[in-house]
Chains A and B, each alone.
Chain A
Amino acid sequence: MSALSSLTETRAPELGCETRPAPAGTTLVLGLGNELRGDDGIGPAIIRALAARQDLPSHVTVLDGGLAGVETVLLLKDAARAIVVDAAEQGLAPGEWRRLPVATVLEHAARDGGGSWHAAGLAQALALGQALDTLPPDIVVYAVQPLRADYSPGLSQPVQAAIPTLCEQILSDLLTPTA
């Protein structure tokens, strides 16, 4: 199953049982989502696609965060720079994505008023990271519009089709020095 495969990528038994955060000072690309919920799996899918590339800069760590929830705070904590990929309902055409500064996501979290900490999402985790003052200084979020996020594995065709261009955009970011 896809969720199990994501575990074996990041929690390979021979490496122990911890989803390890990015090494201090590096750039982290973090994909979030549940591969059993249709297009919610876009985060892990992007991580797989990037991990397979030969041209990924050596200072970059790619990580399938799965359903890290509030613990996303710990995964991001020590990175100098972070790029997060997650599915988000934005009223766009399926497969369209936006590159959001973290401030936009935090505004959304503030407007939304938060939710249950038992089921915290990315916006809540980022709000907590901001309050803790542990967010990387440079962080952007790629929010991908899903077609469906129902109870079945596999990406829809338009979201699957977005993977190559989104990977190119992320690689372009990674090759651009931060301000």
Chain B
Amino acid sequence: MATPNLRIDVHHVTRVEGHGNIVVDVQNGQLKQCDLEIVETPRFFEAMLRGRPYGESSHITSRICGICAVGHATASLRATENALGVVPSEQTVLLRKLNFHGEMLDSHILHAYMLIAPDLLGVGSVIPLAKSAPEVVLRALRMKKLAGDLCAALCGRHTHPIAMTVGGFTHFPSRMQLEELRERLIAMRPDVEATVELFTQLKLPAFERDTEYVALRAKGEYCYIDGEIASSDGGALPLAEYRKVTNEYLVQRSSAKRTHHKRESYMVGALARFNINFDELHPKAKSAAAAIGIKPKVTNPYLNTAAQVVEIVHCTEDAIRLCDVLIKRGITWEEPAKPARLSGEGVGACDVPRGTLFHNYVIADGLVTGANCIIPTGQNLNNIEADMRALVPTMLDRKPPEITLALEMLVRAYDPCISCSTHMLDVRFE
């Protein structure tokens, strides 16, 4: 029987980072309200950067997030480097890419196993899952630990990296560390295969809604750092023109800004990358996608987790390749590349676990005078709400708890990092 009236009010969705509420109001079968309210406190990181020496920016902004600390640091460094004409060495680029894979693996493994799998297995959290299937949870912990150890070897520690600096690194992994990482990554392959196998068995909800997908793209690689901003609706823009993609604006109910590009909303994250950069995936990752049963263009947002699993395969294999390259060429303890100037404006962008991240700095005489950071979850909020508005009317014959769970799972599928997404400053560059 149809539900003529329905009120869903999920106060603080669980198993996401930060605080957000789902509010749905249906009256006489008509959807009156369908919001994802962001109630996290604004955090003012951009204001903290003002007046600080450029070298501090990556250390300050990596604190925006404990999950994507390497991603924020990398985007920050690229913004500073582009502003000041710093050209990192080939070794720096390779080390940053390897480091990035560690963070991608850490984040995706936690999301797929500890935040999503409990829903698909019908349990409330990872604790009952640990009781019923301990080998699954121990596998996740083993993989997650290797990902963290990889970051620690390259940048001192995973959360809030120390050794990453403008123009390069202040510390370098030894050959023995790289060889050990390579061996451990190879030894992790059976766990990666078991992860793919698990997600071939788990059934993600069916729901289709086409939208615009946005991700970084570069020739010859599955792009995570730099590149251009590509849209599934066609076209690409250079990083410096990111505002033409994000078009941020405020809404009353949210402490996070909203974005839109060619449609009312767009999606960033693993699924967007999968749709845009599929051809550049490692062959084993493409095989994993085939095993799970996804190929571009995927328009079911719940399958973002499936795309993350494909990326787990890609990042593992590409990390092994990068270890091989670095071992073969040898590590040089080199000084960071120097700035060509001390004033300028630059944009840095990375595709972090949850999607495309932009940092934009204005630097004058070595001090940051303006900053703008646009975080993936903020870009996904409109798309999540558009999904909710499309999903709810198809479910009005279901019981309210079932609708609530479907909506919570939808929000969780995006792997939102709500505390990152809150930035309310209206920054003017002068």
Contact = CB atoms under 8 A, between A and B. Distances in A.
B156 A71 contact: no
A7 B155 CA distance: 11
Given A4-B162, A131-B128, A17 B153 contact: yes
Main secondary structure of the interface of A (DSSP, over half): helix
Contact of A4 (B66, B110, B156): B156
Given A3-B157, A119-B66, A132-B138, A17 B128 contact: no
Nearest to A66: B157
Contacts of B141: 70-71, 73-74
A127 B157 CA distance: 25
B366 interface: no
Nearest to A116: B17
Interface stretch (B23-31, B91-99, B171-179, B222-230): B171-179
Interface in B115-145: 115, 125-128, 130-131, 134, 137-138, 141-142, 144-145
Contacts of B184: 18
B174 A7 contact: no
Contacts of A114: 125, 127
Nearest to A6: B157
A161 B127 CA distance: 38
A18 B149 CA distance: 6
A152 to B, nearest CB: 14
A19 B149 contact: yes
B333 to A, nearest CB: 12
Interface residues of A, number: 28
Interface in A14-61: 14, 16-19
A13 B142 contact: no
A67 B176 contact: no
Given A73-B141, A131-B131, A117 B181 contact: no
B152 A17 contact: yes
B177 A133 contact: no
B67 interface: yes
A133 B134 contact: yes
Interface string B149-168: 11011001101001000000
A1 B161 CA distance: 12
A133 B176 CA distance: 34
A17 B181 contact: yes
B279 interface: no
A17 B150 contact: yes
Interface of A: 1, 3-4, 7, 11, 13-14, 16-19, 66-67, 70-71, 73-74, 114, 116-119, 127-128, 131-134
Interface of B: 15, 17, 66-67, 110, 114-115, 125-128, 130-131, 134, 137-138, 141-142, 144-145, 148-150, 152-153, 156-157, 159, 162, 173-174, 176-177, 180-181, 184
Give 5 closest A-B pairs by Cβ, nearest first: A17-B153, A131-B130, A16-B180, A17-B177, A132-B134
